[in-house]
């Protein structure tokens, strides 16, 4: 199998136009119904640096205070791990980042054919990003309709057509689904949020034979935000597929992922990229809270 290098690699990007600089404060954590005796956690809240974005400054603060250590996971995401061994009734993790993003393309490498994608070499190289997961299997009906949409198109064109088609058949309805909703469940009700759009898109792309990965991060709420303006936003999810090079599209809006998108994590599905996850001993289920605030700096 191709292994980590093939899974996380991104060919040389082509940046064009002027960059923009964003300040992002992502705060998340749990309020527990009682005392938690100990907890062990992982945070994926550090924007990546690649040819289309540069993380200029970043720090993570944990309350109650805890020692942290960082590492790169299998998919190339930076993880901040920490543990609390003192009783606590809340946990707050705040990630403060300054990121510069650039307009451009992930790559301009030559496109490949469906036959190339079906080759043993390609299927071995991208085996992990072609395999279905419980999160990303959208069901036979979704795949059959998608095949009609992309009929006669080359892989790269098919990916774009699919990303543009999904907003016409799925409604964006916050609260209609939950964090554990699968692509099949979202398709059944024809509604969901960005996580569901990304899961459905990734599942269909893989069923068509195109390597695809789930991407999470942030989306600037308004492209026309003034310098110095503060905006309340949220985490976001989109997709990348490989058709000779990696292409990034946002199926929730049916458009390419651009300089308003800030990439934090990538993997097979949401289970590989949650901003905060862990285990704890003590009180019953905690209540999750999340805020994401943006400031356009340039």
Residue 2's pLDDT is 41
Q: Give residue 3's pLDDT band: very low, low, confident or very high (50, 70, 90).
A: very low
Give the single-character DSSP code of 268: S
**170-226 pLDDT tens trace:** 999 999 999 999 999 999 999 999 999 999 999 999 999 999 999 999 999 999 999
- The DSSP secondary structure of 80-113, one letter per residue, reads EEEEE-S-EEEEEEEEEEEEEE--EES--PPP--
Residue 133 has pLDDT above 80, yes or no: yes
Residue 8's pLDDT is 52
pLDDT, average across residues 135-141: 95
Residue 6 has pLDDT above 80, yes or no: no
Strand partners, 283: none
CB under 8 Å to 146, separation ≥6 — which residues? 162, 165, 204, 207, 208
Q: Where are the beta strands (DSSP E) in 85-190?
A: 88-101, 104-105, 171-172
Residue 164 DSSP SS3: helix
Residue 284, CA distances (Å) to 61, 62, 102, 144, 278 in order: 25, 21, 44, 43, 14
Residue 293 DSSP SS3: strand
Residue 13's pLDDT is 56
pTM of the model: 0.93
**232-266 pLDDT tens trace:** 999 999 999 999 999 999 999 999 999 999 999 99
Residue 18's pLDDT is 80
Mean pLDDT, the chain, rounded, equals 92
Question: Which two three-digit tokens encode residue 55?
Answer: 């993380």
Residue 5's pLDDT is 40
Residue 188's pLDDT is 97
Residue 152 has pLDDT above 50, yes or no: yes
Q: Give residue 285's pLDDT band: very low, low, confident or very high (50, 70, 90).
A: confident
Residue 14's pLDDT is 56
Q: Give residue 138's pLDDT band: very low, low, confident or very high (50, 70, 90).
A: very high
Residue 282's pLDDT is 84
**65-91 pLDDT tens trace:** 999 999 999 999 999 999 999 999 999
Residue 37's pLDDT is 92
Helix (DSSP H) and strand (DSSP E) numbers for the chain? 7, 17
**24-63 pLDDT tens trace:** 999 999 999 999 999 999 999 999 999 999 999 999 999 9
Q: What is the C-alpha to C-alpha distance for residues 169 and 155, in angstroms, rounded to an integer?
A: 21
């Amino acid at each position: 199998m191709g292994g980590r290098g093939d899974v996380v690699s991104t060919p040389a990007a082509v940046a064009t136009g002027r960059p923009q600089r964003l300040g992002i404060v992502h705060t998340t954590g749990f309020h527990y119904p009682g005392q938690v005796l100990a907890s062990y956690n992982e945070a994926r809240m550090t924007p990546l640096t690649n040819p289309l974005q540069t993380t200029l400054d970043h720090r993570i603060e944990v309350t109650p205070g805890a020692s942290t250590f960082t590492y790169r996971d299998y998919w190339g995401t930076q993880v901040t791990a920490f543990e609390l061994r003192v009783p606590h009734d809340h946990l707050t993790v705040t990630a403060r980042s300054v990121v510069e993003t650039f307009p451009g393309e992930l790559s301009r490498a030559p496109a490949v054919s469906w036959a190339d994608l079906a080759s043993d070499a390609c299927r071995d190289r991208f085996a992990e990003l072609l395999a279905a997961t419980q999160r990303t299997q959208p069901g036979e009906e979704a795949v059959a309709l998608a095949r009609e949409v992309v009929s006669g198109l080359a892989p790269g064109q098919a990916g774009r057509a699919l990303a543009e088609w999904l907003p016409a058949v799925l409604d964006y309805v916050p609260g209609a689904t939950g964090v554990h909703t699968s692509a099949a469940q979202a398709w059944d009700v024809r509604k969901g949020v960005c996580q569901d759009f990304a899961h459905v898109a990734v599942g269909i792309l893989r069923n068509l034979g195109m390597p695809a990965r789930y991407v999470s991060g942030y989306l600037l709420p308004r492209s026309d935000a003034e310098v110095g303006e503060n905006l309340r936003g949220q985490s976001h999810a989109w997709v990348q597929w490989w058709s000779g090079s990696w292409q990034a599209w946002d199926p929730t809006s049916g458009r390419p992922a651009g300089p308003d998108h800030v990439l934090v994590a990538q993997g097979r599905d949401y289970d590989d990229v949650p901003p905060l996850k862990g285990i704890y001993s003590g009180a019953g289920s905690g209540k999750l809270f999340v805020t994401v605030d943006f400031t356009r700096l340039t």
